[in-house]
Amino acid sequence: MEFNGDELTIELDMSMEEIREFEHFVRSRLEYIELIAVEEGTTLKSSALLALLVSLKRTKPELKIPFLEQGMSNSSAYGSIHWMCHD
């Protein structure tokens, strides 16, 4: 995870423990974060991270999360994952 000014870059393959740490980290800093990017070549490891990203977007609608906005992700491990969330 890299925090560069108002841009946060995360790896998708976080374990549950890492997701909990990320949640803790981002809760107190959400105000300053403008964009959350994901590191290329990483794949989701838990649906909890996807849920957390959605929750972050719900909490701060102006936050940019390009990965989330794609609405789907393709991977050899999980096939095509689509997510739907009405705001």
Partner 1 sequence: MARYIGCAMTKKEQVKAIFIEEAGEIIEKLDVDILRFEEDSSDFNLLNEIFRGVHTLKGNSNAFGFTRLGEFVHHFEDLLDYYRTTRDEIEEHYLDLFVGSVDVVKEVMICELDEVETLPGGYGEYLGKIKDLIAIKTNKTVVTVPQMSGVEPTIDAISMSDLAAEFGLGCQEEVSKTVTNCIKTKQISQEDGLNLYLINLTLDSDSYKRGFDHLIFLHLLKEKAASLDSFFNMESIGTLDNFLSEENKILNVSIVVLTSQSLEEVTEYFEFLFENEYLITLVEPSITGVIKERDIAPEKPNIVDARKGSDRRKDDRREPTETSSSSALTTKSTIRIDTIKLDELFDSVGELVIAQNFVAQNEKIRAIEDESISRAIETLSKITKKIQDRVMSLRMVAIRDTFDKMKRVVRDTSKKTGKELRLIVVGEETEIDKTMIDSLSDPLIHIIRNAIDHGLEADAAERLSVGKKTEGTITLRAFHKSGSIVISVSDDGRGINKEKVLQKAIERGVVTGDENLTDSQIFALLMQPGFSTADTISDLSGRGVGLDVVKTSIEKLRGKIEVDSKEGEGTVFSMVLPLTLAIIDGMLVRTAGEIYIIPTLSVVESFRPDKEIVHSLKGKGEFVSMRAQHIPVIRLSDVFALDVKRIEPWEGILVCVETGAGRVAIMVDELLGRQQVVIKTLGQSLSKLKEITGGAILGNGDIALILNVDELCPVFES
Of the pair 41, 86, the CB lying nearest partner 1 is at 86
CB of 37 to partner 1, least distance (A): 20
For the CB of residue 15, give the shortest distance to partner 1 in the complex, in Å. Answer: 9
**What is the nearest approach in angstroms of partner 1 to the Cβ of residue 43?**
9
Place of tokens 């789907």: 72
* Angstrom distance (rounded) from CA 43 to CA 38: 9
User: Letter for the amino acid at 20?
Assistant: R
Contact 57, 65 (CB under 8 A): yes
Residue with Cβ nearer partner 1 (35 or 54)? 54
Q: Closer to partner 1 at the Cβ: 30 or 37?
A: 30
Chain contacts with partner 1 (rule: CB under 8 A):
16, 19-20, 22-23, 27, 30, 44-52, 54-56, 58-59, 76-86
Token digits of residue 12: 């998708």
**Which residues sit opposite 73 in a β-bridge?**
81
